[in-house]
Structure 1
Amino acid sequence: MQLIWKSTFTGNETRIFRGKVLAGLLKVSNWKDNAYGELDGHMLRFKTRGFWKRHTQILSIEGERELGRIEYNMWNGNATIVYQDNEYQWKFGSWKRNKWTVTDSESVAHFTKKSLWKNQGEIEYEYISSAIILIGLFVNTYFQRISASA
């Protein structure tokens, strides 16, 4: 299956399309690395914590139930996602950081940024939850913000 994503210049809002139909949205806070989003009925909230060893809690949209966690490895540019007791690996596919993947033992999602100047791209996936697609976009936004502030 294929999705198209388009972010604003600042990366605060990412819209996810299936063809020309809006399928989902990811909104990131201006001042914190917190966000919320929805894709195909999966509604999630992201709350980033920590100073030296940062991690993000994946919460229900109300913020009451913890569904998972993201652990970042800043030096290698990858992350480990634990979502509903399943573990996924998020990593860049090129040194230009225009491709990244989210994988587990059975499935993979490929994300591609189409242009250096425009913040948009494609997502190719099979047999992977829409929640993981949303989490993969959040992790990329997190790494972009860290790179921009360095």
Structure 2
Amino acid sequence: MEKKSIYNWKNNLFGTKSILYCNDAVIGSLESIDWNLDAHVSIHKDKYRFINKGLFNPFTEIRNQNNELIGDIEYNSWKSKATISLINKKYTWSPKNRWMTAWQIEDELGEVVEIKSSSLSNGGKIESCENSELILSISLYLQKRTTLMFSMVALIPLLILILV
């Protein structure tokens, strides 16, 4: 059985910054601007930018610290899934349960990463079989994006009530 690495993250009050920990030591962060889906992630010495594109057929570009395109994420909103395409490998992001409180990233061999958020601690836990800063960065970004998208959907009825 493969050994999993355990990471935790905590979000700031407004959810614009997440700090990533391994054994209580800070190893990285995710920063975004308010309700923007773009983000900067740094883990150890690696830095990645996630740039959201498209409105009706959304996808996210993944760029390294030299601004080179190294992959993308294509979303299937109807199925709450995404396909992660890197230079030499593909992964799938999907809910692990029907309540969407846990998510997973899988390659063709099975689960690579499991992400569990916790609203009580304003953060969550990432369990990873793959020792990759890029996959860890993608995990952190996708949990942030998912939380933001759910928040936006939850606000629609409130906005309708205000505008009517």
Per the normalisation by structure 2, the TM-score is: 0.82
> How far apart in 2 are the matches of 1:142 and 1:31?
10
Matched, 1:122 2:136: no
Q: Deviations over 1:15-39 (max 9, x none)?
A: 1101111011011122521110111
Which residue is 2:24 aligned to? 20
Which residue is 1:110 aligned to? 114
Extract unaligned runs of 5+ from structure 2.
154-164
Matched, 1:73 2:79: no
Q: Percent identity?
A: 24
Q: Is the radius of gyration larger for structure 1 or structure 2? A: 2
Q: Is the 8 A contact 2:19 2:26 kept in 1?
A: yes
> How far apart in 2 are the matches of 1:117 and 1:127?
27
Which residue is 2:87 aligned to? 84
Q: Deviations over 1:95-133 (max 9, x none)?
A: 2222111111245111112x3333211111123412111
Q: Is the 8 A contact 1:59 1:66 kept in 2?
A: yes
Matched, 1:55 2:39: no
> Secondary structure of 2:119's partner?
coil
> How far apart in 1 are the matches of 2:20 and 2:63?
20
Extract unaligned runs of 5+ from structure 1.
none
Q: Which amino acid aligns with 2:17?
A: E
Which residue is 1:145 aligned to? 148
> Secondary structure of 1:75's partner?
helix
Give the count of matched residue pairs: 148
- Alignment match of 1:39 (pick from 23, 38, 43): 43
Q: Is the 8 A contact 2:29 2:41 kept in 1?
A: yes
